[in-house]
Amino acid sequence: MSDRFDLEQQILEAWKVTDDIRTVLSHGSKEDMTANFEALARLTDIRFEKLWYIFEQMCASKQFADMRSINEELTHGQSD
């Protein structure tokens, strides 16, 4: 079962796409660029599929509702 830490880790993993793009741009010949970007696109798809899977698991197990109740407990009694 995934939790909020798994979700956070996968968000950070998916965020690496910007570094990946810079790496592809700085290496290889122009002829390699198309293949490199196709591979990068597939890798990014896989990362986001994993992220979505974790999100769906958390929704199914109602973990976001639990987080809302924790937030309410923490802010209960505090005034603006």
- Number of neighbours of residue 75 by Cβ within 10 angstroms: 8
Domain that holds residue 49: 4-75
| 68 falls within a domain | yes
Whole-structure pTM value: 0.67
Residue tagged 């591979």 (tokens): 39
- 58 neighbors 64 (Cβ within 8 angstroms): yes
| 43 falls within a domain | yes
What is the C-alpha to C-alpha distance for residues 36 and 2, in angstroms, rounded to an integer? 32
Give residue 24's pLDDT. Answer: 87
User: Residue 40 contacts by C-beta under 8 Å, 6 or more apart in sequence?
Assistant: 17, 20, 21, 24
- Residue-level pLDDT, tens digit, the chain, 80 residues: 888 888 889 889 888 888 999 988 888 788 888 899 999 999 999 999 999 999 889 888 888 776 667 667 667 756 55
**In the chain, how many domains are there?**
1
For residue 18, give the 3-state DSSP assignment. Answer: helix
Tokens of 68: 């809302």
| 80 falls within a domain | no
